[in-house]
Amino acid sequence: MLIDRYQDGENAGYPTLCKGRYLVDGERYHALEEPTSLNTLELLPELMAANIASVKIEGRQRSPAYVTQVAKVWRQAIDRCKADPQNFIPAIRMDGDARCHVRRDTNHPWRLPP
């Protein structure tokens, strides 16, 4: 679970989780990076094992065709993972550095200041 935190006297945190800043193991970072790298299909078996009941599909400022395709990929992946979670392989694979929850570099202009 992610909760965007901010200090007393500071403007409220960004109103959407995708742009929030988080403290993990004493280190501040942005768990969700640029929208183009939000592929978390590899995590689907873990999400399902943790009884996660929903996922946010990024779609703001995207075409209906894009959202339709992403929703279709997720639906198919969920069905495949339910059928055989031990052998689930995402339809789309990305290396570890491309997964949004792993990247911790700091050159991202869309982030809120520290």
Residues 48 and 89 in one domain: yes
Residues 74 and 46 in one domain: yes
Question: How many structural domains does the chain have?
Answer: 2
CB 34 within 8 A of CB 109: no
Residues 25 and 55 in one domain: no
Residues 71 and 109 in one domain: no
Residues 81 and 103 in one domain: no
Note down the domain range covering 104. 1-35+95-114
As a whole number of angstroms, the distance between CA 98 and CA 47 comes to: 19
Q: Spell out the per-residue pLDDT of the chain, length 114, in tens.
A: 445 556 666 665 555 555 666 677 787 766 665 555 567 788 899 999 999 888 877 777 778 888 888 888 889 999 999 999 889 988 654 444 334 333 344 444 444 444
- pTM for this one? 0.53
Q: Cβ contacts of residue 33 below 8 Å, gap of 6+? A: 100, 103, 108
pLDDT digits (tens, 9 = 90+) for 71-104: 888 899 999 999 998 899 886 544 443 343 333 4
Residues 84 and 99 in one domain: no
